[in-house]
Amino acid sequence: MREIIFDTETTGFDPASGDRLVEIGCIELLNRVPTGRTFHAYYNPQRSMPAAAEAVHGLSDSFLRDKPLFSHGVEELLAFLEDSHLVAHNARFDFGFLNHELRLCGLPEVSMARMIDTVAIARQLHPGAKHSLDALCTRYGIDRSHRIKHGALLDAELLAQLYIELTGGRQIGLGLAQEEEKRVANMELAAEVAVRPVRPARVFAASAEELERHAAFVATLEKPLWLEEA
């Protein structure tokens, strides 16, 4: 099963009021195990960056000025997403901005049926607790010491670890690894059996000398049981 963990950074909270998506980071999972494939891009929002938003993610107008428009990189993004389920933290926010950008490009929106929200999962598992990404990373012992500011790819990497914990933990990857080890061991054993040399059949019949010695020994026995009358 292929899933994409993704996160976005934006100019604000509401695309309907003119806020735009400025960064997206994606992590590919197969059967809840990261494959190492990622997608990461910055986009020029064609508007100024509010100071409050810049304080969160550190993306300034000068940094984003020479970045491509979303419309110029959308095909590459969609090719990475394919038709996989998309996992995000407070996913309606990220889906809202992604679909807004797709609408501006005249492209179909991503179906909400593909959405998996880790906040909703966390609320079911830990009702009444804090469900921010930071709080959940602390709960599950996920190291975020290198996270100074928000960043789409960095947050997606943290979220990938959290999602694995929320949906079964490290046992998933451990179990797959153990199965792979067994499979490789069986293949090696089969290969060893296939190349094992054929040995000649062992001869178990007594030699003439052995038969002679046996007869001499039997002759020394007094009243052997097999000669007694029933």
> Helix or strand or coil: residue 20?
coil
Q: Is 3 annotated as a binding residue?
A: no
Q: Any binding-site annotation on 9?
A: yes
DSSP 3-state assignment of 36? strand
Is 14 flagged in the annotation as binding?
A: no
3-state SS assignment for residue 58: coil
The span from the CA of 53 to the CA of 64, in Å, is: 13
150 catalytically annotated: yes
Measured between alpha carbons, how far is residue 28 from residues 4, 35, 94, 103 in Å?
A: 5, 6, 17, 24
Cβ atoms 24, 40 nearer than 8 A? yes
The C-alpha atoms of residue 230 and residue 191 are separated, in whole angstroms, by 58
| Active-site residue, from 40, 85, 150, 214 | 150
Does 85 show up as a binding residue in the annotation? no
Extract the annotated binding site for a divalent metal cation: 7, 9, 155
Extract the annotated binding site for substrate: 7, 9, 57, 155
Residues involved in catalysis: 150
Extract the annotated binding site: 7, 9, 57, 155
